[in-house]
Amino acid sequence: MTITLDTVREAQRLIEGAVSRTPFEHSRTLSRLCGAEIFLKLENLQYTASFKDRGALVKLLSLTDAQRGAGVVAASAGNHAQGVAYHAERLGIPATIVMPVHTPFTKVVRTRDFGATVVLHGEGVAEAKQHALELGQRGGLTFVHPYDDEKIIAGQGTVALEMLDKVPDLDALVVPVGGGGLIAGCAVAAKALRPQIRVFGVEASLFPSMDCALRGVAPAAGGPTIAEGIAVKEPGTLTLPIIRDLVERMLLVDEAALERAVQLIIEIEKTVAEGAGAASLAAVLANPDTFRGRRVGLVVSGGNIDSRLLASVLMRGLARDGRIARVRVEITDAPGTLARVAGLIAEAGGNIVEIYHQRLFADVPVKRADLDAVIETRDAAHLAEIMTRLRGAGLAVRQLGNTAADGP
């Protein structure tokens, strides 16, 4: 089998009615921020909250009756696991999913809820994959690869068919890249329908595996990333030549950019994207000259993000924007001083979220104290206004955190 527009269209026919045709919407606010016409393909709205539904179903539908009866096995830390488990249950196919031992509990529970047998094995996906292959050999199970399979690639390519069906005159597609199944399928379909379209891939800078492979250099991948969905150390052997032929170039984005993109999507579009799902927006924001004035389709590939991580990302975003800050005020340890500081902050329009009055463990004279206050503000300019008000009252104040010692 060779992956062509026809094979992607056949995949689209196979999944019709079983996989959502997700919205592809224009974002006026993100367009203004990016200086381009931005359209979002919301694959985070799939039933399992990821594009992985598409390829998993196409692969499972290709199995013989004997293969279906024996069952399938896959290795994944999240989205692929849920896509395979969900559609295997629908089709009555026994599924075993091998997940790394430190996979977040929520992802393990969701995969089990879809009817799969979950086996926890290995420190990472590579070890889980090896164990899955061994289980497959012992039990006669068909291994469902997350990206390096022509059926999988064709299924993922249906994303681009839907995008160009809705907006035929797109100038560019920006697609998150892990092993490359999604971008390979999308590139085949998009370039066949619109040869002049430019296709860009996005990787987390900590895992530039595809970029390294395209440049012929040794991969240097590793480290904690919010974009674990594309944290792949080895690109696919089937996907690499397709990407080399059809993709314009790879764009790398750092962790701060990924966090910012997750924050913007939830605040502006009111929809949740995981780190990998927000990578396409992060890349456009980081490369404005490349996309300025263009009509750009961004694939929001998934929305499976841990709730605690999402809460942390949003709070850190508020801190970066100056909408919440921790400041330290040096005060005299005398009655009424705390009330005076609180009054000055309130007069300036700030809202005190938390306050800590430190007398015993602060490195200040015994007659003085450190007052640490977490303040909610409108923006960075408003925070600077509050700091100016406090200093104008004769108080020594500085912002704490990852800013300069002097603060605003």
- Terminal Cα-to-Cα distance of the chain (whole angstroms): 61
Return d(Cα 230, Cα 125) in angstroms, integer: 12
Beta strand 95-99 with 117-120: parallel, antiparallel or unpaired?
parallel
CB 186 within 8 A of CB 242: no
Catalytic residue list: 52, 301
Distances (CA, A) of 96 to 47, 85, 100, 130: 20, 8, 13, 14
Return d(Cα 333, Cα 7) in angstroms, integer: 76
Q: Which is nearest to 38 in space by CA: 230, 265, 209?
A: 265
Strand order in the sheet with 368-376: 351-358, 368-376, 324-332, 396-400
Return d(Cα 213, Cα 5) in angstroms, integer: 25
CB 72 within 8 A of CB 60: yes
